Amino acid sequence: MITTEALSHIPLFESARDEALETILSRSADVRVKAGDWIVLEGEAAAFYVVVEGRCEIVKMIAGAEQVVDVVEPGGFFGEVPLLLGSGFLAGVRTTMPSRLMRLEAVDFHELVARCPNANHQILAEMARRVTGLQQASIAAPIMSVTVLGRRDDFACYDLRDFLARNQIGFRWLDPGDTAAIQAAGVPLELLHADNYPAVLFADRSYLIKPAYPELAQRLGLQTAPRKTTYDVAIVGAGPAGLSAALYGASEGLQTVLVECRAPGGQAGTSSRIENYLGFPAGVSGDDLASRAFHQAKRFGAEVIVTRQATSIEPRDGSGTTHAIVLDCGNRVQTKAIVLATGVTWRRLTLPGADALLGRGVYYGASRTEALGARGKDIFLIGGGNSAGQAAMLFSGYARSVTIMVRGEKLAASMSQYLIDELKKKENVQIEYTCECVSVTGSGHLESIEVAYKNGEQKTFPADMLFIFIGSEPETKWLPEALIRDAQGFICTGRDVLDLQPAGATRARDPYLLETSIPGIFAAGDVRHGSMKRVASSVGEGSMAIALVHQYIGEP
């Protein structure tokens, strides 16, 4: 037990009477922690800690990297900032040596302040010092880690910017036409040639011209190849389902690797605001949610490989103990179990002129990075689902006008009521009902769209950007034939496998709830037949899949 004698040497309690110390001690927990353990994580509910023995460091994720912003020695304390601001912890705290701490809950913290005359002043002074420190660390962090040089109407440049944003790499974008900005940025003259765009410049003035994403990812320090030869579980696809599986797998002690062909986040990463995910009353942007999940999974030890596509699976044969996933770079990932979380991708629209203008005013889906490009523009959206509604809400803050085009007579059948109500409040958003976009035109960039109405009328609208949201489909043709899918390509699991398997097929046991027709290969999230197509359900399925992986691995 921590004694009143030990407390009396701590500056915070110096002038407190013995009975006050007794009361505080009676309400406190005596926390003993090993070196390197987390005491609190960023975002956790506030509590007050006093370091009695050992040493702790305060760690904050800034611009995607961990930074130690303060250290706390014996006699020091932490937790006052979130307690006084009424927020969660703004940074995590980890020990650097075996440590012992006194922990007080929020209500008891206020008792401490009332009973110890010196405490109030010390706590406020410490809080001011820490908030200033956090502010300085954020300002000093290198937010712009690379510069992209490329033309606005070049799809490759748009795609590159999207890739960087989704991998949480801060970047500045320079258009070759902006000579003043180019000179000010000190862009090497030899780069200024149309054949070189898009190019990526690094802080040390080196650059890559039209980089392939795996090459760029390596240069940026992202992981692009597996580090081990064999894993307990390999997950394909880093959307909400895959990230959740990686987090639960790694946190439950499984050797876990997650393979993603582009960047963490999946479809959710392209969503400007997810309003209905538990725990975020004001909504959360998809890239923020993805970034948090990515760092959480990594902190538990999951390996996250980006820019690598899984191209085939070699299921475990009778004598073997592992399945293999073959990646597009030729690497093989040997693993006891696999979770397929490859989601779905936007369905393509056959619209005359659209393919030639893809990335030059015509886009599938919309992420937050597009919002600035929409400033003062006339934006059109095809689709009446929630994705189109959320994008319209995002663009309405930037664009001159936002027009949603739908085939039906109302939105209620396809869009949530809360979004319909929000859209009604926006003066620059209008909805064109019973119509269809029939062609798009523009030389080099979208200039106008042709819209046909059910009553036979046809209109041409000048348009700067057209975003298409017309549903999605799974890409599962690369999977082994023995893995049963439905007619649309969604992967069947559990009971559905038994319904669709060839007559007379026999198996040693029925598949687990999220297990496919191949034992040890599971599916989670949107790619699964019958899934709910929501962030929350995908996250839930990712964690459930890991519980079933444990059962599979534990089988005799």
Ligand X SMILES: Cc1cc2nc3c(=O)[nH]c(=O)nc-3n(C[C@H](O)[C@H](O)[C@H](O)COP(=O)(O)OP(=O)(O)OC[C@H]3O[C@@H](n4cnc5c(N)ncnc54)[C@H](O)[C@@H]3O)c2cc1C
Q: Which residues bind ligand X (CB under 6 A)?
A: 236-242, 259-262, 266-268, 270-271, 274-276, 309-310, 341-344, 365, 386-387, 390, 475, 525-527, 533-536, 538
Nearer to ligand X, 50 or 233 (CB): 233
| Closest CB 266 distance from ligand X, rounded Å | 2
Structure token digits, residue 278: 């538990």
| Closest CB 137 distance from ligand X, rounded Å | 31
| Closest CB 106 distance from ligand X, rounded Å | 32
Q: Provide the CB-side half-sphere exposure for 225 (13 A, CA).
A: 8
> Which of 403, 404, 395 has its CA nearest to residue 375?
395
Nearer to ligand X, 334 or 386 (CB): 386
Nearer to ligand X, 12 or 304 (CB): 304
DSSP 197: -
Nearer to ligand X, 358 or 470 (CB): 470
Yes or no: say if 2 and 28 are a contact pair by the CB < 8 Å rule.
yes
Amino acid type, 456: G
Nearer to ligand X, 52 or 333 (CB): 333
> Which of 86, 90, 80 has its CA nearest to residue 113?
80
Yes or no: say if 442 and 360 are a contact pair by the CB < 8 Å rule.
yes
Nearer to ligand X, 236 or 302 (CB): 236
Nearer to ligand X, 134 or 236 (CB): 236
10 Å CB burial of residue 388 (0-12, 13-18, 19+) is buried
DSSP 35: T
| Closest CB 42 distance from ligand X, rounded Å | 23
| Closest CB 488 distance from ligand X, rounded Å | 15
Instruction: Give residue for tokens 């309003």.
Output: 275
Phi, psi of 497 (to 5 degrees): -65, -45
Nearer to ligand X, 35 or 329 (CB): 329
For residue 131, give every residue at least 6 positions away whose Cβ sits within 8 Å of its Cβ, in sequence order, or none.
81
Nearer to ligand X, 44 or 159 (CB): 159
**Beta pairing class for 429-432 and 401-405:** parallel
CA 390, 395, 401, 407 dihedral sign is: negative
Nearer to ligand X, 16 or 246 (CB): 246
DSSP 492: P
Neighbours of 547 (CB within 10 A): 13
Neighbours of 282 (CB within 10 A): 6
Q: Which residue is nearest to ligand X (CB)?
A: 343
Nearer to ligand X, 154 or 541 (CB): 541
| Closest CB 268 distance from ligand X, rounded Å | 4
DSSP string, 119-147: HHHHHHHHHHHHHHHHHHHHHHS----EE
For residue 389, give every residue at least 6 positions away whose Cβ sits within 8 Å of its Cβ, in sequence order, or none.
404, 411, 415, 416, 419, 420, 422, 423
| Closest CB 312 distance from ligand X, rounded Å | 9
| Closest CB 551 distance from ligand X, rounded Å | 21
Nearer to ligand X, 211 or 242 (CB): 242
Distance CA 450, CA 440 (A): 6
Structure token digits, residue 270: 């392209």
| Closest CB 339 distance from ligand X, rounded Å | 10
Distance CA 128, CA 516 (A): 55
Nearer to ligand X, 520 or 525 (CB): 525
| Closest CB 260 distance from ligand X, rounded Å | 5
DSSP 11: G
For residue 226, give every residue at least 6 positions away whose Cβ sits within 8 Å of its Cβ, in sequence order, or none.
257, 303, 305, 331, 333
| Closest CB 343 distance from ligand X, rounded Å | 2
| Closest CB 489 distance from ligand X, rounded Å | 12
Structure token digits, residue 1: 């037990």
| Closest CB 163 distance from ligand X, rounded Å | 11
| Packing angle of the helix pair 417-424, 386-396 (nearest 10 deg) | 30
